[in-house]
Chains A and B, each alone.
Chain A
Amino acid sequence: MSKSTEPVFDIDDLSVTYGDFRAVEGITLDIQPNEITAFIGPSGCGKTTVLRCFNRMNDLIESASVEGSIRYHGVDLYGPRIDPVEVRRRMGMVFQKPNPFPKTIYDNIAFGPRVAGHKGDLDDLVEESLTRAALWEEVRGKLAEPALALSGGQQQRLCIARAIATRPDVVLMDEPCSSLDPIATLKIEELMLELKKDYTIVIVTHNMQQAARVSDRTAFFTVDVRDGGVRTGRLVEFDDTGVIFTNPSVQSTEDYITGRFG
């Protein structure tokens, strides 16, 4: 599994606990630069929990604790001198439901860079971000209009533009197309393939065809239910997407992707 390039994330024996509840345990995998890595698996398998460790969003939940190590370009992401705000600046995040700010299209993009003290020309940055998110042509004449007036697919591309406006290194996507129609979904998928030239992308998706279409590597998670109904997520198989969808090594991966359980 190890590739010759230096991984963006190197995750070793990661476990996440909320209070007494262990959400995932023993996760070991690496995320390679300029690739799309897909996390798939049934609800409760911990794929979103792992994604949220990458930008330390689990810090926002008081009872959450993280064990094991996540190295980001070789640096311990949970080390004592790491500023979670700086981590989140480097990792743009796109959520399941498009969540533009109730502001103008322009301000949605300009907000983050302004807060971060962007020195250059904001107009240029807004145009560049919207262009990269394949939205510029559709909104160039109405930048002062409210973002919430856009269609769902446009709002999601706006959120992607907003995520990349702070010039992150990684884009994390948590089911970015689950509220979109097939055409809007296709546009986001095309955009992802375009964006991976400049960014590293990790996507959580329930849509297995989406994982098969866009990702380079796929991680399949599952959930073990123990006595007393305690559910803990774990990584079952991680491999090139072509291998996962033509000849997976583990029977439970096969059962899940062929729809025989879950």
Chain B
Amino acid sequence: MQHPHDETRHRYSESLDATLRSTVELGALVLENFRRTTEALLENRLDLAQHVIAADDEIDAKYAALEHRVFEVMARQQPVAGDLRFLVAMTRILYEIERSGDLAVNCAKGLIRREGYSLTANIQSLLARMSRKAADLFSRGLDALADLDAEAGARLDEADDAVDDLVGELYSAIAQRSGDMGFDLAVELSRVGRYMERIADHAVNIAEHVTFIVTGSFPEETAATKDEG
């Protein structure tokens, strides 16, 4: 049915699609910066750590511009139903992405403050595994967003348990060696573990917001409804 507002609405749909694409791209920048961070941590690359901090400025600027765009679309289009869920979820997803970027920067700043870490082989291996898992989860969260995959939320939540287990192992390893490494480094490395765990959590949140966009409820609610049924 031809309608006088078709052209306007078409542009509206395109602007929602563009918002989704730009948000996924922003996520990819954060993921790249996080991978750079772990490389810096594991190889004591202070130059890379500096690069991570510098690259975050671009991420922050893009985040602010995208958030502004979402608010403007809301104000001008008065979205409802699926569009409303999409835009509300997008403000939250943007936050999850931006916050993950900040956590990567925190890791980089810690490394610079101490002018590099001397790590035991065990702790280094644990950090390497954790960072791989966290990056993998974050990448899957972005895939879920790009594909608007409603099922990914529940899957990522399960996969996140492995990261939680690894951070537990890391804390134990740090506790065992805290006498040799000194209090400050023990605290610093615990923080790094915590930041990586949080990045994985943000990835799960992103996928759960995608579930909300598609279904109107979060994975745990859907599961609860299924249990009742």
Interface residues of A (CB under 8 A from B): 42, 208-209, 212, 244-248, 253-254, 257-262
Map CB proximity to A onto B82-96 as digits: 1 under 8 Å, 0 otherwise: 111100000000000
Whether B12 pairs with A259 at a CB distance below 8 angstroms is yes
Chain A CB within 8 A of B116 CB: no
Chain A CB within 8 A of B13 CB: yes
Whether A257 pairs with B9 at a CB distance below 8 angstroms is no
Map CB proximity to A onto B64-100 as digits: 1 under 8 Å, 0 otherwise: 0000000000000011111111000000000000000
CB distance from A208 to the nearest CB of B (A): 7
CA distance A247 to B87 in the complex (A): 14
Counting residue pairs across A and B whose Cβ atoms lie within 8 Å, the total is: 36
CA distance A261 to B6 in the complex (A): 8
CB distance from A75 to the nearest CB of B (A): 37
Whether B9 pairs with A260 at a CB distance below 8 angstroms is yes
Whether B9 pairs with A245 at a CB distance below 8 angstroms is no
The size bracket of the interface on B is: 10 to 19
**A209-B78, A246-B216 known; A262 and B1 CB under 8 Å?**
yes
**Pick from A212, A247, A261: contact of B216, CB under 8 Å:** A247
Tell me the chain B residues, 76-131 only, with Cβ under 8 Å from chain A: 78-85
CA distance A209 to B79 in the complex (A): 10
Map CB proximity to A onto B135-157 as digits: 1 under 8 Å, 0 otherwise: 00000000000000000000000
**Pick from A209, A257, A261, A262: contact of B81, CB under 8 Å:** A257
Whether B85 pairs with A247 at a CB distance below 8 angstroms is yes
**A259-B9, A260-B9, A260-B13 known; A245 and B81 CB under 8 Å?**
yes
